Each structure stands twice: as structure tokens, then as C-alpha cells.
């Protein structure tokens, strides 16, 4: 799809990817499989930039016994291409564990194992990515009054490179959410910091506070309780107890590929209703097996008179102040208003994530992007940001589309299908004009 350009004009990629987490790894795989099927003239040229030095996905949350909440069949490829060599089953075969995994009779692999699968898949397309490169700017390139291309600048140390593309796909993931006025420190953590902070902790901790009532909160409580057998672990949440995730068969249909189209086409009132109905499949809920295990442990300790696991329910954290040797926290009862001061070695906030602003990097390009009456980015069904007639390039987003595409916006469930739809859109739009095949660049790009 790339043209032969005259003289010293830069090579134009069909697609530049910003970020190389699971979504854009899946995108790279879809492109790789497409290019293997077609001739060079129909190949889609692409390159990805990732600011990390290598692939990593929530590394500090890889608790050794934590499992995935989605089936292994919802991997990077299977729902798009069941015959793909990049599937989780092919990964297991390459690791010599296929039969052992099947003997478990379990759809949900360990999170550590699934991360290893993601690394394995990313390594097989690492010729398409430049690690250690942070995208710092995207600039419009105008031809005859129309934005025809996008110049993407990526920085690695003191050096910067510029790549030109017709389209970009943004997959920069989520950002940890902290309460207003609370910053992450050596003793005030977000769950995304957990394992790294635990390893750096000095001394013999005597108490942890974990704030939140979702899956990550419960996993952190269980892990800290097991990891530090002499420490008290206090779970703080406004509910009476953890709420179980609804993973029943009919409820799970909200994650079906077809449900994305239904949600996208639905009136706003129906969208809100669907989110209200099915929020308990994903938000502020916990696997029932973990809930039961925590309750059993709390009861066992009560019987033995050795209570280390405490649940400060119908309460909220109203103050947190870090000192030299720990954190002074204030927990307030929502029933009585009574305030209880607690000294802890660390406070862990399991307060979720917020989507990164997909347009934050785009600078002047963002002026061409449409927003709805609530200021949210308007995204078409093919995950392309809506733009004006003077903009021919394509900006695709993976994430930040819950308001248009529903609950699966930032989840793995539809990743494989989503990248297939983006690829189909690229091909359909790219074939709208006669284009000759161009060189597929091997180097990073032009230096600046």
C-alpha cells in the first residue's frame, strides 16, 4: 500500500503504532499475518514505538497465584483467526506444557503464564517495534490544503526520530487513578506498584492498609497477608463486603464481539442502561472463590484468636500522611462518622485506572478531531476518530472508547476482533486510491 516517492522524500508507512501493549501487539500480529498472505504490493507497512525498554504488561501485579479473568481462547488472535500460529495453545505447545495445561480442565491461566505468552508473541514481531522510544509529537503534513500524512516524532534519550504515516493507531493503555490530592510515594502505593514496592520495603512491616473493593484490592489483601505472616492487613471499603463478579453465561454475552456493534448503535439512554445492568461483570467486583477464601481465613483467625486480617467495611479513608517511618491513616465510619487513626507501613490504593486521553499527543492534529456534546472523542465503529473533510489520514484508538463501544473498550475480550476490524478499515480506505507498492523500511527512520 505504500507509494514509491520521488527523490529524497521520506518513506511513508501505512500505519504507525503508539505503544506496544497487548492491543498493539495483536495489531502487529494481524498485520504480519495479512502481509504473509498477500504480495508485496498489497502489504501494509507499519512500525510501532514503545517507551519501555522491552515488553511488559502490569509486571508489578503478577502475583504468583493470580489467574486471568478471561478465557485463554480470548488471546491475541483466536477469535479473529483460530488457525493462527500466535495463539495461546501454540505458545503452550512451544513451552512443552500443552497436555499439562489441558489436564487442569481450566479456562483461566495464571496471570504470570499469560504474561509469558504475551512476551512470546511480542518477541515474534519485534522487527516491527522500536523499544525505548517515547512518542513526543504528532504533526500534520498538509498537501494541497488537506492533511494527507502524519509525522510521528519518537525520542530515545537525546536522539529523536521522525516517521511519516498515513494512519496512526494509539494503544497507550490506562493510567493508575489515585484519590485527589494523594500522590504515589515509597509508602503510598497504587496496586500497579505492588510487587516492586514490596521488594523495596525495608524492615519488618506490622500493618498494611488496602483501600478498595475490586478484584485487585482483594488480590492485594490476600497476597500481603500471605507474604508477611507477622503483619496485620486491613481492607478498607465503603461496602458491607466484597461483591461477586457476575461471570454467568448470559451475562458474559456483553463481551461478545456482536455486543460491540449493538452498543455502538444503541441510543445514549440504552447505552447507560447496559452499563448499569452489566457493570457487575467487571467493575468493583471480585471472583467468588477469592471472596470465600478471604472470609474463611478471617473466620479461622477469629477462632484461633490470631486476627491479622481485618475488614473495615462501610468506611472510607479520609486522611493519609506519610512520615519518616510509615503512614498515618484516618479511617472514618460511614455509619457513625467515628474517625480511627491507624499507623501503617504502607497504604495500597486499589482505586482503578483511567483511560489515557487518546488525543493528548496529537497537538495540532487534535484540532481536526471531533468531540461529542460532552467533550468526549467521537469514534466511528471501526475505531477511527471522526475528523473533518480536510483530514485524510486516519487516527485509530485502542482504548478510551467505552462511551462508544461499551465495556470491552480496554479489556482483552475483544482485542483479536478489534484489531481485525481496524485492519479491514485500513485496507478499505487504502484501496480507495491507486497506490503503488513502496519500500518497507528496515531502519528506525530519519534522525532529527
Statement to judge: residues 33 and 155 lie in one domain: yes
- Residue 358 has a pLDDT of 78
- Residue 436 has a pLDDT of 36
- Residue 85 has a pLDDT of 98
Segments forming the whole domain that contains residue 220? 177-245+283-352
Q: What domain count does the chain have?
A: 3
**Domain end marker among 352, 368, 394:** 352
Mean pLDDT of 117-142: 97
CA–centroid distance for 206 within its chain = 33
**Domain end marker among 260, 281, 302:** 281
Statement to judge: residues 26 and 99 lie in one domain: yes
CB atoms within 10 A of CB 388: 10
pLDDT tens track for 40-55: 889 999 999 999 999 9
Count Cα neighbours of 199 within 13 Å in the Cβ-side half-sphere: 6
Mean pLDDT of 366-374: 93
Statement to judge: residues 191 and 270 lie in one domain: no
Mean pLDDT of 393-399: 94
Statement to judge: residues 134 and 207 lie in one domain: no
Residue 427 lies in a domain: yes
Q: Judge residue 389's burial from the number of C-beta atoms within 10 Å of its C-beta, 0-12 exposed, 13-18 middle, 19 or more buried.
A: exposed
Statement to judge: residues 198 and 307 lie in one domain: yes
The confidence band for 360, taking pLDDT boundaries of 50, 70 and 90, is: confident
- Residue 438 has a pLDDT of 40
Confidence check: pLDDT of 179 > 90: yes
Statement to judge: residues 146 and 241 lie in one domain: no
- Residue 283 has a pLDDT of 86
- Residue 409 has a pLDDT of 74
SS3 144: coil
Report the CATH number at residue 26. 3.50.50.60
pLDDT tens track for 219-263: 999 999 999 999 999 999 999 999 999 999 999 999 999 999 999
The confidence band for 2, taking pLDDT boundaries of 50, 70 and 90, is: very low
Could you tell me which residues are beta bridge partners of residue 211? 236, 349
- Residue 356 has a pLDDT of 80
The values of phi and psi at residue 208, to 5°, are -125, 145
CB atoms within 10 A of CB 171: 26
Could you tell me which residues are beta bridge partners of residue 344? 327
Span of 22-31, 120-129, 321-330 with lowest mean pLDDT: 321-330
Closest alpha carbon to 237 in 342, 311, 330: 311
Statement to judge: residues 122 and 20 lie in one domain: yes
Statement to judge: residues 194 and 168 lie in one domain: no
- Residue 316 has a pLDDT of 96
**Domain end marker among 352, 369, 392:** 352
Mean pLDDT of 104-119: 97
Mean pLDDT of 370-379: 93
In 110-158, where do the E strands start and end? 129-131, 134-143, 146-156
Confidence check: pLDDT of 7 > 80: no
Residue 92 lies in a domain: yes
The confidence band for 279, taking pLDDT boundaries of 50, 70 and 90, is: confident
Confidence check: pLDDT of 5 > 80: no
Confidence check: pLDDT of 447 > 90: no
Mean pLDDT of 281-294: 94
Statement to judge: residues 127 and 195 lie in one domain: no
Amino acid at each position: 500500500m505504500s507509494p514509491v516517492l520521488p527523490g529524497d522524500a521520506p518513506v511513508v508507512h501505512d500505519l504507525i503504532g503508539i505503544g506496544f501493549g497487548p492491543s498493539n501487539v495483536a495489531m502487529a500480529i494481524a498485520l504480519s499475518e495479512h502481509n504473509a498472505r498477500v504480495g508485496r504490493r498489497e502489504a501494509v507497512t507499519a512500525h510501532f514505538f514503545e517507551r519501555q525498554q522491552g515488553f511488559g504488561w502490569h509486571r508489578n501485579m503478577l502475583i504468583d497465584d493470580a489467574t486471568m479473568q478471561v478465557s485463554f481462547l480470548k488471546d491475541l488472535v483466536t477469535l479473529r483467526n483460530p488457525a493462527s500460529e500466535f495463539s495461546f495453545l501454540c505458545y503452550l505447545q512451544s513451552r512443552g506444557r500443552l497436555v499439562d495445561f489441558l489436564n487442569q480442565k481450566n479456562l483461566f491461566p495464571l496471570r504470570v503464564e499469560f504474561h509469558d505468552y504475551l512476551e512470546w508473541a511480542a518477541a515474534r514481531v519485534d522487527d516491527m517495534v522500536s523499544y525505548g522510544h517515547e512518542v513526543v509529537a504528532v504533526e500534520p503534513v498538509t498537501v494541497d490544503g488537506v492533511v494527507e500524512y502524519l509525522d510521528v516524532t519518537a525520542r530515545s534519550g537525546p536522539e529523536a526520530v521522525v516517521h511519516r504515516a498515513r494512519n496512526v493507531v494509539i494503544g497507550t493503555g490506562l493510567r493508575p487513578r489515585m484519590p485527589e490530592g494523594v500522590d504515589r510515594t515509597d509508602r503510598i502505593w497504587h496496586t500497579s506498584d505492588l510487587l516492586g514496592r514490596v521488594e523495596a520495603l525495608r524492615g519488618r512491616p506490622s500493618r498494611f492498609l488496602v483501600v478498595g473493593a475490586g478484584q485487585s484490592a482483594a488480590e492485594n489483601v490476600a497476597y500481603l497477608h500471605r507474604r508477611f505472616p507477622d503483619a496485620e492487613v486491613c481492607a478498607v471499603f465503603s461496602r458491607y463486603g466484597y461483591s461477586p463478579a457476575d461471570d454467568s453465561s448470559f451475562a458474559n454475552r456483553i463481551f461478545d464481539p456482536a455486543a460491540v456493534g449493538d452498543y455502538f448503535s444503541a441510543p445514549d439512554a440504552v447505552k447507560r442502561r447496559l452499563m448499569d445492568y452489566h457493570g457487575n461483570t467487571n467493575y468493583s467486583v471480585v471472583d467468588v472463590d477469592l471472596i470465600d477464601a478471604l472470609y474463611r481465613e478471617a473466620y479461622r483467625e477469629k477462632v484461633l484468636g490470631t486476627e491479622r486480617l481485618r475488614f473495615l467495611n462501610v468506611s472510607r479513608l479520609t486522611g493519609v500522611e506519610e512520615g519518616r517511618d510509615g503512614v498515618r491513616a484516618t479511617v472514618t465510619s460511614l455509619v457513625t462518622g467515628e474517625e480511627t487513626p491507624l499507623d501503617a507501613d504502607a497504604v495500597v490504593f486499589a482505586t482503578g485506572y483511567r483511560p489515557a486521553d487518546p488525543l493528548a499527543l496529537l497537538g495540532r492534529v487534535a484540532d481536526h478531531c471531533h468531540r461529542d456534546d460532552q467533550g468526549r472523542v467521537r469514534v466511528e465503529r471501526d475505531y477511527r476518530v471522526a475528523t473533518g473533510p480536510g483530514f485524510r489520514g486516519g487516527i485509530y484508538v485502542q482504548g478510551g472508547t467505552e462511551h462508544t463501544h461499551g465495556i470491552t473498550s480496554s479489556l482483552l475480550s475483544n482485542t483479536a476482533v478489534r484489531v481485525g476490524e481496524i485492519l479491514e478499515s485500513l485496507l478499505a480506505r487504502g484501496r480507495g486510491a491507486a497506490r503503488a507498492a513502496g519500500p518497507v523500511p528496515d531502519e528506525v527512520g530519519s534522525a532529527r
